[in-house]
Every structure is written in structure tokens, then in C-alpha cells.
Amino acid sequence: DTVPPTICGCPNDMSAVIELGTPTAVVGRTEPTATDLSGTVIMTSRSNGPGESFSIGLTTVAYIFSDASGNAASCSFVVTVITEGITPPMIVNCPSLIERQVELGVPGLIITWTEPSATDISGTAMLVDRTHAPNDFFPVGITKVIYTFTDSSQNGAVCSFIISITIVDTTPPECVNLPAFVSESTELGNPGRRVTWIEPTCQDISNVASVTARSNLPGSFFLVGDTVVTYTCTDGSGNSDTCSFPVQVFTIDTLRPQILECPDIDAPSVIATIEPGITSAIVQFDEPTATDASNSINVESSCNSGDRYPRHYPPEVFQCPDEIRAIVELGITSTVVFYDEPFATDNSNAQNLLQTQTCQRGDSYPVGETSCLYLFVDPDGNSNSCTFLIIVTTIDTVPPVISDCPSQQTITIEPGQTSAQVVWFQLSATDNSGTATLQTQTHSPGESFVIGQTTVMYIFLDPAGNTANCEFIVLVQTACKQEISRRECLTNFMFGVLDEPH
């Protein structure tokens, strides 16, 4: 027997791919078999058995079969083990959701974060792309940030997270046109009076604000004294602010005392009889009394019970005024005053009873009080007089004069900026009283104004309560320059920085 065995199923060369960093691989296979004419074949040798590990590189596997006569046949094939990186990089410190808030009217924020990194079993992991970087400007809304890493085998890994910027409103509204001081008078003895005023309004950056509470309504009844009136303004976000002003009700006394038991002036109430040749007599009578709301009365009388009186009546005076009032504009020092002059009659029927006259109808009288006296004397020396005051008071109806009220202030800023500092000359006012006070000033020179229109208001007040207003618009706007990118221009348009894309 010289014929060697016949080998069946000898494998072809085989290969296996393992992950980079793995030293060996188990390569599965079906072992070859052999047949022989003698019917007896045994495997006398094999270099590697099934289930054994193969190192990286080339390994030759050999099988030898022999028959009973010693004839041998061999089978060999090559097992190749190679490495390849298939595991993607591992990302470290990938941020989670980043949430921020901005005040109403602010278009966005600059956001920073710790950037993610990556490692790889190959020792090399590179950042190949990112959609945004720390310290970029992010508009209001939701923005997705993506980082992409690859290794030397071009396996990729992605880190993505969301930056969410929401709008909040924490700025309270403010009261506009709040009265500075309201003062009204009421007659002495009254507990108070109703007082009215023009109610203030509310102003807010959201343009939505209203009065939600007030301590008193215009037309309410106020007791004599000082009362503080408060208003509360609230915007749509629930922010509120309270403003107040004082209401003063003071008393004046314009009512004359009420005289009780005053004898009738048109007929003699007290008659004394004397003998012929006697020229006078002592007369007793019940003197009149008076009451007044002030509980304070000064009594002046030309006659007193128990005085001696001549046999004739003194002249009787008519048209004697209590006082004569005239009003002139502040700055005018005098005015001509006309009045009905007093006159007198006497039972002696004498003419020209007027002996002394200190004031003249139609004369010019200075501002202030002038005391006037008309003295009437009859032939018997009996006298009567009329005294009164001519009171010339000033009134101020001329409002203050504001100097150099500006026109509209227009400021153009660079794209991306949200506000600008605006400067103007501080306003002043003059008044014929010599005093004009700045009562309200909504903004000051040098303040920062956000994009859009802002109304600046000055209100000046003189001591008489006359007011003068100055209003002007501050317009802060941006313009797209040609060199900025289309993306930046559209972003500015989306968030209100521009009226329309250029």
C-alpha cells in the first residue's frame, strides 16, 4: 500500500478582525478529515486545534493524516488576525440643558460653558466640528449646540445640548402724571369737603400696565387735615409699584358773625326823654351780642349802654362796604378801584356832612391793604364814620417758560448693541414769580436708552400751581452694514434690531 490518505474539507486561508487593543482572537473552523483505501486513517498531527486563540498576524495551521502502511497526507492553511478601530470616541463633559433668562426687551445673551472633550482607544480623538462656541451670542428662544469628534479610523461621536433663553419681566411699572400736591379749602365748621384731581396713569416696558388699587377716588370726601392718597400700578407679569401724593383740606372763615338782638336801624329802639335845655342824657339799653363759628369775636361799638348821648342822632351812614377787593396779575403793582361811595343823612337835614375822606373812588391803589375812612359830622358835632379796606391781591395764571425744549433725539447704534447713552442739555424754566421748580423728570441726560422710541417728559411748576411741559422722543435705532453676513442680518431682523433685512 503506497497510496497516501485522501484529505477532505481542508479549509481555505482564513482571516479575523479584532478591535484595536485586543491581543488575540478565537477563529472557528471545521476540521478536515481523511479517507484511505485501507479503511484506516488516523490524524497524526495538527498545529492548532479548534477553539484555540490566534495572535495578531499570520499563523499557518497544518494537519497530517497517516494510514496503516505509514503513507501520510498533509493539509495546511493560513489564519490571519488583523486589528481595526471600530469603537467610536468616548465624549467627556457633554453639557446638559443650559437655561437662562433675560429681561423683557433684551434680544439675547452671551453664553459660556466648559467645552466637552473626547478620548479613544486609539489614543487619538479630534474635534472636527461645532455649531457654536463659548461666549457666542444666543438669541431669545431655543438653540441646539452640536460637537462632532472622530478618531483615526473615522469613527464619529456627537455631543448635543440645548441652550434655552426665556424672557422674564421683573421691572415694575411707574406712575405717570401723579399730582404733586392737592390743596382745597372749606368753610370753618365743616368737617371736610369733596376733592377731585386728574388720576395718574401707569407706564411699563411691556406697554401693559394699569392701576390695580387706589386708596381714594377723585371726588371722595376728605376730612379737614392731611390725607395721603396712594395708587398701585401692576403690569402683566405681576410687578407692581406704589406712588402717593398728599391731599390737604384746610379751613377758611368767610362768614360774618351772627348778631343777636340788634335793634332796628330804621327806627329808634332806645328813646330817652330829657328836659328842655338839657343837651344830653345817659342812656341804658340791652347791648346786642354775636356768635361765630370761630368762637372768637372782637366787638367794636360806637355806642355803649350807660354812655352819655346828645339830643340829636349822629348822621346815619349808608353804602359803607365791609371791604373792597381787586385782583391783579402777578408783577402789576397797583390798579384803579371803583366803588359806590358811602354817604350820610341826618335829622338836622344839613348838607355836606362829609368832613374827612381818605380814599377816592377811581384812584389807583397799590397791592396790599389800604385803610379808608369817611367821617360825617352834623351841625351839632355828632359824628359817624365809615371805615373799610381796599384789598388788592395778586394772582398768578402765567405758567413757567421752558428754555430750549429739544426736538426728537435720534441715535444710530451698531448691530448687536441693544442700547445707547443719550445726552442733551438739562432743561430749565423761568417764571414771573421768580421760582420755577422741576416737578417731574422721566429721564436724565446720559442715561442708557434701549432700542426703539422712548418719550422723555419734563414738568415745571410755579408756586401758584401753574405747570409747563416739555416732551420729546429719544429714538435708538440700528442699521445693517453691507459687510455683515446674511445670517447676522436675518438674526437682527428676527429679534427686532432692524425694521427689515437689507
Specify if 161 maps to a domain. Answer: yes
* pLDDT tens string 187-203: 998 999 999 999 999 99
Which CATH number covers residue 350? 2.60.40.10
Specify if 460 maps to a domain. Answer: yes
* pLDDT tens string 78-103: 999 887 777 899 999 999 999 999 99
pLDDT band at 268 (very low <50, low <70, confident <90, very high): low
DSSP E strand stretches across 131-224: 136-139, 141-151, 156-168, 174-176, 182-187, 192-195, 201-203, 209-214, 220-223
List the alpha helices (DSSP H) in 127-170. Answer: none
* pLDDT tens string 94-139: 999 999 999 988 999 999 999 999 998 888 899 999 999 999 999 9
Q: HSE, CB side, 13 Å, CA atoms: give it for residue 236.
A: 8
Specify the higher pLDDT residue, 289 or 209.
209
* pLDDT tens string 301-355: 877 888 887 666 788 999 999 999 999 988 899 999 999 999 999 877 888 899 9
User: Residue 84 and residue 490: Cα distance in Å, rounded?
Assistant: 46
User: Residue 290 and residue 300: Cα distance in Å, rounded?
Assistant: 12
Task: Examine the pLDDT at 39 and tell me if it is beyond 60.
Answer: yes
Task: Examine the pLDDT at 500 and tell me if it is beyond 60.
Answer: no
**Which pLDDT value is given to residue 501?**
44
Q: Are residues 13 and 80 in the same domain?
A: yes
Specify if 499 maps to a domain. Answer: no
* pLDDT tens string 367-416: 999 999 999 998 878 899 999 999 999 898 999 999 989 999 999 999 99
Whole-model pTM: value is 0.39
pLDDT band at 277 (very low <50, low <70, confident <90, very high): low
pLDDT band at 486 (very low <50, low <70, confident <90, very high): low
Query: Using an 8 Å Cβ cutoff, are 463 and 396 in contact?
Result: yes
pLDDT band at 429 (very low <50, low <70, confident <90, very high): very high
Domain containing 227 equals: 174-252
- If one counts every other C-beta atom within 10 angstroms of the C-beta of residue 372, the result is 23
Q: Are residues 298 and 369 in the same domain?
A: no
Which CATH number covers residue 236? 2.60.40
Number of domains in the chain: 6
Residue among 199, 215, 204 at smallest CA distance from 240: 204
Q: Are residues 109 and 145 in the same domain?
A: yes
Task: Examine the pLDDT at 265 and tell me if it is beyond 80.
Answer: no
Of 59, 84, 109, which residue sits at a domain end? 84
Q: Are residues 52 and 110 in the same domain?
A: no
